[in-house]
Amino acid sequence: PKLPIVILTGQDDLDEAIELLKCGAQEYINKNDITAYKLVRCVSYAKERINNELQLRNELSESTKRYKQLEQISKHDFLTQLPNRSYFESVISQNLYNAMRTGKSLALLYMDLNGFKKINDTYGHEVGDELLKQVAYRLKDGSRRTDFIARLGGDEFVILTDQLEYRSEVFSLVSRILKGFEKSFHIGHHKISCQPSIGVAYYPEGST
């Protein structure tokens, strides 16, 4: 792909020349009309064009990479790397529509951390931030692969389940999450106990 291609042909067909260029050739020359000067110029143009193509390809690749990075930043919480409120709102809208179409249930678990403000005031915001990171990890560890976890802000988190066959599926999920908080959090020299409060809402009882 980095090699300039020159098509040398006995046919003088403009449509064919255009098709060859679309297939990746950089230049097209008729051998019945060839001279040393034309051949040198043709090869020179082919080199210039392949270099321009490669440069453009690299720029597009970098642009795509930057776009993906910006998209990742815009959709995720900087601290915990979980999806943020904006991303969550777009996902729940789609999931509610899918649940309505299939006639199945969804569950939304809303939780915050008991005494988080006191932890911040006592140990400082750096410890509080590290606690939120560890909480995010434990939530991911206790949830199922199909559950969607997001941080809404502060110490507020949500877990949106996949479509449910039975509501009792949520009880085991809540139990696993609570079990994940039984162990203390170790942050620096501090050993901190922290428990969540969790509320559950169901669709279709809650339609929004």
Catalytic annotation, pick one of 121, 147, 155, 162? 155
DSSP state of 32: G
Give the phi and the psi of residue 29 in degrees, each rounded to 5: -140, 140
Please answer whether residues 151 and 140 qualify as being in contact, where contact means their C-beta atoms are separated by less than 8 angstroms.
no
d(CA 102, CA 105): 9
Angle between helix 36-75 and 85-102 (nearest 10): 90
Instruction: State how far the Cα of 151 lies from the Cα of 106, in Å rounded to an integer.
Output: 19
Q: Is residue 162 flagged as an active site residue?
A: no
How far out from the chain centre does Cα 81 lie? 10
Q: What's the angle, vertex CA 75, arms to CA 74 and CA 77, rounded to 5? A: 90
For the annotated catalytic residues, the residue numbers are 155
